Each structure stands twice: as C-alpha cells, then as structure tokens.
Structure 1
Amino acid sequence: MRPPVFVPVLVLFAALSQSAPAFAADPAAAPEAASCPEWTLPAMRKLQNKLRVQKVYEGRHEQQCLRFFIEDCNGKVANIAVRERHDETCGGDPATEPVVDRFRLHKKGKRIEWYSVVEGEYLPFDQLKAAGKP
C-alpha cells in the first residue's frame, strides 16, 4: 500500500447542520482529491451525517473543530482520517492536527468501517459503541 496522501478536503463538521453540507476542495491545491472516484464525497457526507446523528463526538469535540481528510482512495474504498483542528477558535498547537478516528468508506457509502486501534483493523461502524463511543 502506498504511503498516505493527506488531501485536505476542508470539510468542517459544522456544515452538517445545514441542509446541504458544504465541501470545499481546491483541486489545484490538492490534485490528489481530483483523482478520487466521484462517489467519495457523497460517501463522506453519509459518514459525517451518521457521526452527527449518532452523536459520536458530542461532549468530546466541538463539531467545528473536526476536519475530514482523504488519506487514500481507489475505485473501491476511500480511507478517511478525522482530525482535530487546532487554531485560535479550537485551541491546541496549530502545528499539529491529531487523528481522532479513521474510517474506510466502501464504494457509494454502502459500507462504513471504523479503524480500531486496539484491534489493529477496520471493524463495522456499529463497533464504535462496543468500543465505548456513543
């Protein structure tokens, strides 16, 4: 597997409260984003909505302080990292953006998996609750 390519999709979690989430990706600044299949962004919207509805990060992370990055994508899966945003609003060291979680989206969002650090593998999304997350 090739090394992760961090492509900032600059999708702020707060946009999910709107009827149509805003996705800001500048293909000129991040050409790898343009190479991802067209189903990647709609699948990411589905992931973000699921995280919001199930209140996965509520009480631990402010929605506007999370960013979603495409780490790797191909015709079948897209690997997404959820990172803490560090700036004046969110606090923290602006030179870092620690990973909160990783997810694997399968084509057209038909399956979402969560990376368990404990197990060292991707598990079904529903395993988040078993891991102590809401």
Structure 2
Amino acid sequence: DTETGPSGDGDGDGDGDGDGDGDGDGDGDGDGDGDGDGDGDGDGDGDQPYGPCPGGEDSECLPDEICITGDSNGQNWSQCTPGECFGNMQCDTIPGDICADYPGDGEFVQYCAAQGCDDQNPCPDGMQCFQGFGMMGQNVCLWPSN
C-alpha cells in the first residue's frame, strides 16, 4: 500500500479520491471544480480564445482579451479578441486566425478574429459569417447575440 494517510485510495495525496492532485474532486486537474478542464470555472469546456461576450464586458473574455460588439444588418454580434492588428502576421493566437475590420463596430480598426468565412469555409458551430466592412472587407466569423 503506497498510501500513508487514512484515505487508503493508493495515490498518496490523502484526500481519498484516487486522482493524486490533492483537491478531493476526483478529476485530476487540481483546480477543485470537478470538471477536468483545469480552468476552475466548472463548465468543463476549457475556455477558448475568441469566445462570445454577449454582455459586452471584457470580463467575459480570457484575461488577455477584450470584448468587441457591434451590429451588422440588424444582427448584433460579439467577439473576444486579443486586440488590434495590422495584418494577419500579428494574429497568432490559434492556427488560421486573421486580421479583419469587424463590420458594424463603429470603428475603422482591425482586430484579430478566429477565422474568415465564405461558402467554402463555414464558421464553427454557434458562430455566424458576417459580411466584411468596406470594399475589400473580408467576411469574418463572429458570435451572434440578442
């Protein structure tokens, strides 16, 4: 028996759940929420970059992201982004992310976006393809919101 404490689960940390991380929730990631993704929020999805922020608050995004919101053809949208960019080379959070002028945000500013979109390149589940801003505007995947 490798367990020296009273729990007797054999992992050596003494909390009795058998995963060895010492927090007692049994998922092995050490954050104590029991969902196994390690980010501590309990939702099990492992927060990802470029997520939605329907409330328009930076706090809805990852710590190094800001929330941008807008309206395009009557459809509200939101997007967490690492920030402004001046070309695709400045966007390297995930493979395939791009630099684009988000439509309907009221600014002539380019931000990093999860991906561009068209008929051949649809958006991931839950996102919607919004027409790019300007004559050469690239279509971009954003999160629709109410």
Q: Tell me the TM-score normalized by structure 1.
A: 0.23
Select the structure that is richer in helix. Answer: 1
Q: Tell me the TM-score normalized by structure 2.
A: 0.21
Which structure carries more relative contact order (alpha carbon 8 Å, separation 6+)? 1
